[in-house]
Structure 1
Amino acid sequence: MTKTNLITGFLGSGKTTSILHLLANKDPQEKWAVLVNEFGEVGIDGALLADSGALLKEIPGGCMCCVNGLPMQVGLNTLLRQGKPDRLLIEPTGLGHPKQILDMLTAPVYEPWIDLRATLCLLDPRQLLDEKALHNENFRDQLAAADIVVANKQDRATPQSQQALEAWWAEFGGERLQVSATQGAIDGALLDLPRRNLRALPSSAAHNHAHDEKKGLAALSLPAHQRWRRSLNSGQGHHACGWIFDEETVFDTIGLLEWARLAPVERVKGVMRIPEGLLRVNRQGQDLHIETQNVAPPDSRIELITASEADWNTLQSALLKLRLSQ
């Protein structure tokens, strides 16, 4: 049986960073796998995890938590039967509802395959000060489903956010475990803790996505001879626009950072080719984190997510002007 954990958390809470930390500190004798799902269609998290050494399957477009769960079943079955990992980490989209996923993982058909351990939910406590997040059904239910709540981004905490966390925990914490973390650095021993939160979860009444079901995993790559493409997705009160560029396209570093910093959206995430090699961009609200490496990625991918309508054409025009090779 494969030890399995669900790693949830709202947009920008630090799920992928935490998974990278766990993979970097795992027992080198163990084979780990990651099943990752994103709200958008271009597979940013997969690009971030590509060099982690884990077996990896991606599901684009928010499909994992849809009621029929077919894309998840295909990815899950492939990893379990072909990869035979010692541990499987499942990262749903930050806008995903956990009930359908947990229902599937505990279904009788997976009993011989899956040893389901604690579900971790990453939380940026500042989100507890955001009325829009507090009223988001998936935000509430991700926290409700967690066995362990990880209060992440402690380096960005404020007295107000800590007070909000204490008040929330006093009301909703129950018998569960709360831990603190900075930059997703959590103890791998948490993954072996048993499930302790067996309360019944409600289904999501508003669960829907407006993505193209026909794209499937083909959405994660460019057709031959196509230099770039754009993909759109919407649902759960949010809109996403992502772009993939081929391996020959290189972007101006300073211009790209300014574009990412000033884009009128809540979320920016990308892995891009620049003259210096690779640029990772991760922005949640006004928090912008960047990282560079002197090894170029196989292509460039960047995605924006917002809760309001955005002028994607204007943003795209500005992005295209930043290409050094056209």
Structure 2
Amino acid sequence: MKLLTPQKSVPTHIISGFLGAGKTTLLNSLLAQKPKGEVWAVLMNEFGQIGVDQNLLPQTEGYAVKELLGGCLCCSSQLPMQIALSRLLSETQPDRLFIEPTGLGHPAQLLEQLTEPHWQSQIQMRALVTVVDGSRLHEQEWVKQNLYADQLKAAQIVVISHAEHMQAVDEQALQQLQQEYLAYAQTWLKPTLGQLQLVEIDLPYQGIQRKIQPLIQIQKKYSNESALPEIKQLPYHYVETAQGYSVAGWKFSKRWQFDFYDLLDLLCEQQQWLRIKGIFNTNQGWKSFNFNPNQFNYQSAPENVDNRIEVIVQTERDWALFETQLLACRIDTETD
């Protein structure tokens, strides 16, 4: 059957969040605000093979709900997602679209797919929303997971769910979390009983520019006219810019080992930064670093998939010098 091409650019919202954060509750609240005469569509993704969440959404006329089961539409093959989305758009011609990825998904990867030129004439991306369970903010083993952090970093709007169940320790943790992500210039909302007005999240998507490139010292091997190779493996460095802030990061193989005290000295000597976070394989074991201007925290950490560091600044920085100093802390003899 030939699919029809949508005749309009559909406002599209991604509602992300960790497992059990309250995405579907929020989504129901938003869907209830549909004007009469409009058709709203929802594309849901569940990691397992049995769909449940679809049955929790409106089943009445004016709503079109489609589930994509098995795997994650954020990071698995793009083809199933592209087919499902194309069919949903062409068959229902919606006035508004909501996408709810699995709680185990990386929304930044999904957003990267949906902002490609292919989709720009069909969908109009709105601000990416990440839902956070406010009643669990005091659980450090929960909020310190890499996936949790990835979802927060991708968010333009952070919605705090279950606010009515938050304790004093949760409120304190929320303030710390907002301070930690200050450089990402996000909007934080705390609706009561999951009730949020659509107008509060119906904002244009503001993209983050990100360049993943070879290490700066490796780039010097290329002439000014030659294109840098596409990065598919470690090591590499990247720079993200948004709202006047820059986040520079590096990732190295987990087999690289660094001198702990040289690394600590280097990080403590940095000036005019807003945030430094990293995890390294050192001669003192795996260590994590979590620096803000008021507190320098470092501690032992479990083995990570790689060595990594991010530095958030609001001023120009000589990243080549920092990278040279960082690599000088390496003590192993392997070359990969």
Cα shift at 1:142 = 0.8
> Does residue 118 of the first structure (1) align with residue 127 of the second (2)?
yes
Alignment partner, residue 317 of structure 1:
none
3, 11, 14: which one aligns with 1:3: 11
Contact kept? 1:3, 1:88, Cα under 8 Å = yes
Do the aligned partners of residues 200 and 186 (structure 1) sit closer, same or farther apart at CA in structure 2, a change above 3 Å counting?
farther
Contact kept? 2:18, 2:131, Cα under 8 Å = yes
Q: Within 5 Å, which residues of 2 pair with 1:1-326?
A: 1-51=9-59, 53=61, 54-174=63-183, 175-196=185-206, 198=208, 200=210
Q: Encode CA deviations 1:81-132: one digit per residue, 9 max, x unaligned.
A: 1211111100001111112211111011111101001111111123332233
Contact kept? 1:14, 1:183, Cα under 8 Å = no
| Further displaced range: 122-131 or 180-189 | 122-131
Q: For the residues of structure 2 that align with 1:188 and 1:26, how far apart are their CA atoms?
A: 9
Do the aligned partners of residues 116 and 74 (structure 1) sit closer, same or farther apart at CA in structure 2, a change above 3 Å counting?
same
Cα shift at 1:183 = 3.0
Cα shift at 1:158 = 0.6
Alignment partner, residue 289 of structure 1:
none
The 3-state SS of whatever aligns with 1:192 is coil
Q: In structure 2, give the amino acid aligned to 1:37.
A: N
Contact kept? 1:26, 1:188, Cα under 8 Å = no
Q: Among all aligned residue pairs of Structure 1 and Structure 2, give the percentage whose two residues are the same amino acid.
A: 40
Normalization by structure 2: what TM-score?
0.57
Cα shift at 1:72 = 1.1
Q: For the residues of structure 1 that align with 2:165 and 2:203, how far apart are their CA atoms?
A: 27
| Further displaced range: 182-191 or 26-35 | 182-191
Q: For the residues of structure 1 that align with 2:92 and 2:188, how far apart are their CA atoms?
A: 32
Cα shift at 1:7 = 0.3
CA RMSD of aligned residues (A): 2.1
Q: Which runs of 5+ in 1 are unaligned?
A: 206-326
Cα shift at 1:25 = 1.6
Find the structure with the greater CA-based Rg: 2
Q: For the residues of structure 2 that align with 1:178 and 1:52, how far apart are their CA atoms?
A: 32
